Amino acid sequence: MSSSLPVIAAVDGSDGSLAALDRAVDAARRRGAPLRVVHVRQYAPWVRPGVLPEGPPDPEDDPVLAGVRGRFAGRADLPVVEYRALEGAPGAVLSGLGSAAQLLVLGSRGRGGFAGLLLGSNSMAAARDAECPVLVVPRPGHGERTADASEAVRAHAGTAAGPGPRVVVGLNVDSPDETALAFAFLEAELRGARLQAIAAYGWPPQTWASPGELVPPMIDQSAVENEVWALAEGLLAPYRSRHPDVRADAHAMPGDAAGLLVAASKDAGLVVVGRHRRRPLSPARMIGSVTQAVLLHAPAPVAVVPPAASQASV
């Protein structure tokens, strides 16, 4: 795969952003794309709102970018690399860069904010607003408590983690996200990984006959699970034909979609989720509760994929 659009890595000198930088190098190399390393500095406090500094800062004078150059010194395995120093509100600037990138990569939390936060505001803003897929790389050790739940998910799916890389994607059979599926299959192909599609369904269904009276479900769970699995298989079929080298497995599982995806992400190379589509009465972009929960708790890197233009307001 090759594209003239770059993979953009956002750095601020923190350990988290440098871990994301390594992921960005790998992503650019796999895609045959250039790598653009960007450092966004906050406006100086004396700059009045609405008044921009005269011209962008010189990347040669940026100490954070100088540190990246030193990190890259002597490496022969790098893609074409360029550097940009920018000024402004980082969340807004990074989100705007998505219109000229095929992938935006950043750490889950940088130097700013509170140390206890699991996800920084800049990461959340970029995942919510950028026009390209956003890869959020968690800090080391994040999400270690998901191990037990992950084993339960694998047992239900009838599969162990097994050797080799794995990509996990969330699949809503009632309203499938085509762009997220396409991105997940492409990533699995680029990585030589197998794809695990998680289709969640609520169980047990709750039926109320009268106030305070809960009626036991009369539906057979295995029938529901088989139906969800069959729908998931049908959704995966066209992507399998386009990516014949990718082994893609559909798993229909009872429970909360976010919890299942977080559990399945243990030891995965990547989790892919779609971004919430705009609603006619809610024109503002929304990240979605499932996507937000996965970003907060998954131990693996998470790719948030925006909907196609035709689906953005569906």
The CATH number of 144-305 is 3.40.50.12370
100-157 pLDDT tens trace: 999 999 998 755 544 444 567 888 899 999 999 999 999 766 555 554 555 555 555 5
Q: Indicate the domain borders of the chain.
A: 7-137, 144-305
**pLDDT for residue 56 is more than 90:** no
Higher-confidence residue of 283 and 288: namely: 288
141-170 pLDDT tens trace: 655 555 455 555 555 554 545 567 999 999
The 10 Å Cβ neighbour count of residue 88 is 17
Q: Are strands 213-215 and 207-210 parallel, antiparallel or unpaired?
A: antiparallel
pLDDT at 163: 62
206-241 pLDDT tens trace: 655 566 666 665 678 899 999 999 999 999 999 999
Q: How far apart are CA 109 and CA 128, in angstroms?
A: 15
**Residue 84 corresponds to which amino acid?**
R
Higher-confidence residue of 9 and 206: namely: 9
pLDDT at 50: 55
Q: How far apart are CA 277 and CA 86, in angstroms?
A: 30
pLDDT at 60: 80
pLDDT at 114: 45
pLDDT at 108: 86
144-305 matches 7-137 in CATH topology: yes
The 10 Å Cβ neighbour count of residue 100 is 12
DSSP lists the bridge partners of residue 103 as 7
DSSP lists the bridge partners of residue 8 as 36, 104
pLDDT at 115: 45
Q: How far apart are CA 132 and CA 101, in angstroms?
A: 6
Q: Residues 63-90: what's their mean pLDDT?
A: 94
Residues near 106 by beta carbon (within 8 Å), at least 6 away in sequence: 9, 10, 17, 20, 94, 122, 123, 126, 134, 135, 136, 137
**pLDDT for residue 278 is more than 60:** no
| % of the chain surpassing 70 pLDDT | 74
Q: How confident is the model at residue 83 (pLDDT cuts 50, 70, 90)?
A: very high
| Residue with the two structure tokens 């995966």 | 236
Q: Residues 73-98: what's their mean pLDDT?
A: 93
Q: Model pTM?
A: 0.84
Class of domain 7-137: alpha beta
For the chain, the distance separating the N- and C-terminal CA atoms, rounded to the nearest angstrom, is: 30
